Amino acid sequence: MEKYPLVRVMWEDSARNMDWWTDMPEGVAIPITTVGFLLKETENAIVVAPHLAVEPFQHCGTMTIPLRSITERVLLEDST
């Protein structure tokens, strides 16, 4: 069985406004916390999934997070 560690990832997301504004936006990134199984890591990003079945392998709700956006990563559990 392949291992997929359970991780908590803190990262900064971009923000947008959906309505007309009369003042200037704050220009602040939004802090996000994602918890899930680390499926893949490349030189540019990680892929995390909150839902995972190992046999047969399937996952749902994956999130690809750019490494440059990550502010902290914590290993919660080392195997599935």
Q: 3-state SS of the chain?
A: CCCCCEEEEEEEECCCCCCCCCCCCCCCCEEEEEEEEEEEECCCEEEEECEEEECCEEEECCEEEEHHHEEEEEEEECCC
Q: Is residue 47 part of a domain?
A: yes
Domain of 49 in residue numbering reads as 6-13+29-77
The reported pLDDT for the residue numbered 72 is: 98
Residue 41: inside a domain, yes or no? yes
Task: Please answer whether residues 30 and 46 qualify as being in contact, where contact means their C-beta atoms are separated by less than 8 angstroms.
Answer: no
24 located within any domain: no
Number of domains in the chain: 1
Dihedral angle sign, alpha carbons of residues 6, 11, 16, 17: positive
- Whether residue 72 lies inside any domain: the answer is yes
- Residue 58 inside a domain? The answer is yes
**What is the pTM assigned to this prediction?**
0.82
Position 2 scores a pLDDT of: 57
Is 19 inside a domain boundary? no
Mean pLDDT by 10 residues, the chain (80 residues): 85 82 77 96 97 90 97 81
Decide if 49 is inside a domain.
Answer: yes
